[in-house]
Amino acid sequence: MQQFEEKIMQKLQVQHMAVIEKQADSIKTLVYIINNVLVRQFEIPNQQTNVESDIKHHKSHANQENPFDDEFHKLRNSTTKEVIEKHAALTTNVEQLADYNQNLRNITDDLLVGQRELQKQLISVKDDLQSHRSQVEQEKTHVNEFRKLQNSINAQYEEVIEKLAVHAKNGQQIAESVKNLRNITDNVDRLVTSLSGVENQLTNVENELFEQGNRMYNFSSSCATLNINVTGTYYIRPAGVVAPFSVLCDFENNYNLGGGWTVFQRRIDGAVNFFQNWTMYKDGFGDVNGEHWLGLEKLHLMTRSGRHEMLVMLEDHEGASAYELYDSFQIGSEAEKYKLTVGGYSGTAGDTLKYHHGMKFSTFDQDNDKSGTNCAQSIDGAWWFNSCFYSHLNGKYRKKGEHLNTQYHGVNWANLRTIDFLITDNDLTTPPFTTLVLVFFMQCIERWLVSG
């Protein structure tokens, strides 16, 4: 790099010296011309002085020797002619000197321009040299990094070679292990095939046992079809349902409405939290012997065909009670968001479900109501909310003496606000001829309140 810079500087110095030598030659020529002019300028006065001396000399003799007058005049004329010629030559030399002077100025200007251009080139060359020097430094850095990487790769290569040498010794053992593994895999495949056959056989046996169990126990499709009239927990299997499930069957009420009601919601002591998500309300939660929600999917399967009724029963701590009976009741599929359908009503509690007829079920994580807010989220419950409710039987259970933050967070049945009615218990049940019934028994010490 340094040698390259020295060569560039030498080349620029040679070019600069050539320009200076050219300038020096021009100056020498100009000096030579000036000297000639000066010499001639000094010669003319001397010649004039000599001529004047000759004239005076001839004049001094003129008075004595008239024969020299003619010679004097000739000499004077000759001298004058020579002076004129030299003056003309001097004038020519002065003009030439002016031309040379102008040429010298032009040359000087050219030299200045050339010098400036050389300075620019020198600056540019210096910048290029600096940039080149930076690039060279970067390349040196890259080369050093590459050498380090190369050394690392060489070290890793040596390590790999050593490990390969070690593994090569175990190559035969690995080959034997692979062969054994293939044999094991083949055995496993054969075993899986055999197990698949066994699984199919077990499935067939299970189905057969299930059918035998159905024939042996003769699962009813609802509580209404049981050949029993004692309130308790029984297994039922509605039409189209594969596995039977446990429900609470109610055969006792104070309204002469008969027995065989399938309970699908029950509130008695506040032991179960009813502020649950969509999945919990879909599948059901709680204990069928205590507080529970049977499940929306089961309600849909039980009410999708045939005639169904629903009964709501309410009772307070003092034994006061009320009921409401709906002559038709149906729950839609999950695709329909378990839409509620109710028909005509009768009873003493008053119709509040009419406001919820045709509504989709809502939970705090599935807002399907018509309100601008999430009703389930705002009142800690789940129901077939409209905007928001006239009845809400899945609200927070208020125990005796307990007060909630607002009147809307508890269990509500709007029409009961006109009577001094304190709820003790509630259930949801299903009556004869596959009719579903709501039976509620709840405890609280406050009136039923309405949100609408």
What average pLDDT does the structure give for the chain? Answer: 75
Q: What angle do CA 252, 314, 437 make, to 5 degrees?
A: 55
Q: Dump strand ranges (E) for 281-395.
A: 285-286, 292-293, 310-315, 321-326, 329-331, 340-342, 345-347, 391-392
Place 321 in a pLDDT band, splitting at 50, 70 and 90. confident
- Average pLDDT of span 2-17: 64
- The most confident of the ranges 17-26, 128-137, 211-220, 340-349 is 340-349
Q: Which of 8-12, 94-98, 264-268, 284-288 has the lowest mean pLDDT?
A: 8-12
List, for residues 166-205, the tens digit of each pLDDT value: 777 777 777 777 788 788 888 877 887 877 777 777 767 6
Q: What is the 3-state secondary structure (H, E, C) of 83-151?
A: HHHHHHHHHHHHHHHHHHHHHHHHHHHHHHHHHHHHHHHHHHHHHHHHHHHHHHHHHHHHHHHHHHHHH
User: Rounded to the nearest 10 degrees, what angle do helices 2-62 and 69-169 cross at?
Assistant: 180
- Tell me what pLDDT residue 406 has: 60
Q: In the chain, what percentage of residues exceed pLDDT 90? A: 21
- Average pLDDT of span 9-38: 64
CA-based Rg of the chain, rounded to a whole angstrom? 63
pTM across the whole model: 0.49
- In 3D, which of 295, 274, 270 has the Cα closest to residue 284? 295
For residue 131, pLDDT beyond 90: no
Long-range CB pairs of 97-102 (<8 Å, 24+ gap) are: 97/33, 97/34, 97/37, 100/29, 100/30, 100/33, 101/30
For residue 429, pLDDT beyond 60: no
Q: What is the 3-state secondary structure (H, E, C) of 20-85?
A: HHHHHHHHHHHHHHHHHHHHHHHHHHHHHHHHHHHHHHHHHHHCCCHHHHHHHHHHHHHHHHHHHH
Q: Which of 51-55, 270-274, 407-411, 416-420 has the lowest mean pLDDT?
A: 416-420
Rounded to whole angstroms, the Cα distance separating 30 from 41 reads 16
> What are the helix (H) ranges across 309-405?
375-379
Rounded to whole angstroms, the Cα distance separating 200 from 194 reads 10
Q: How far is CA 161 from CA 19, 152, 156, 164, in A?
A: 68, 14, 8, 5
For residue 287, pLDDT beyond 90: yes
For β-strands 261-263 and 436-441, DSSP reports them as parallel
List, for residues 53-79, the tens digit of each pLDDT value: 655 555 555 455 454 456 656 666 666
